Amino acid sequence: MLHDLRRWRWDRWQELTPGKKEQLLDRWQDFLEESERVEGEEGVYSALYRVVGHKADFVWVHFRPRVADLLDLERAWERTPAASLSQRTFSYLSVVELSRHSAPPFPEGVDPMTLPPLRERLVPTIPNYRWICFYPMSKRRGETVNWYQLTGEERSNYMRGHGAIGRNWADRVKQIVSGSMGLDDWEWGVSLFADEPLWFKKLVYEMRFDPASALFAEFGPFFIGERLDQTALRSWLR
């Protein structure tokens, strides 16, 4: 997974002639259509969201089966006219994985990719919801509490209650947790999808009181965005 957050150069955009704007939008729409789904290959999805606030103007969210695919995708974007009017403000690389604390048991030696319920979790699609909330996070390794000095059973007990809260919201908020140890500065990325952004606040607030968060969680910046399809992209830049 790659979350690629960018600022749009509105000053330079306003300087373009109407014809140049149309050419740029046509190419951006083509890129969006090409990257949203590649037929015939599993795990290939992209989505574009306009971001609320000053941290960025828009975010690309890309799911690809290989890191090299993300590199190719970045270079393809840089070759579009729109790329020259955007500046990256933040990015995050991570991989979807099964949590050892929440994955359902399966026979030893069995490839989880051969089990449909686990395969669906390991190769998710980008949910078709209007809003996204993304934030990175880590577990504390301080002098008072240290997540990595707990036993596996202790960690599982903490995460069991944490997971129960998430399941209570499953009909309204879709959550994809991805790991990033050795890939990026934080340890996990959390992507939440919903049709109502206020639900993000309510869910995260409720989870803050759960011991797994209250004692051990360190949170990075939060980004909230509204999905842009090809029609909405053109309206946004008008």
Separation CA 81–CA 85 (nearest Å): 7
User: Where do the H-state alpha helices sit in 193-238?
Assistant: 198-208, 211-216, 230-236
Known catalytic residue: 129? no
Burial label, 129 (beta-carbon count in 10 A; 0-12, 13-18, 19+)? middle
CA angle centred on 25, ends 20 and 27, rounded to 5°: 100
Residue 91 near residue 4 (C-beta atoms within 8 A): yes
Which is catalytic among the residues 49, 135, 148, 205?
Answer: 135
Spatial separation of the C-alpha atoms in residues 71 and 152, rounded to whole Å: 35
Catalytically active residues are: 135
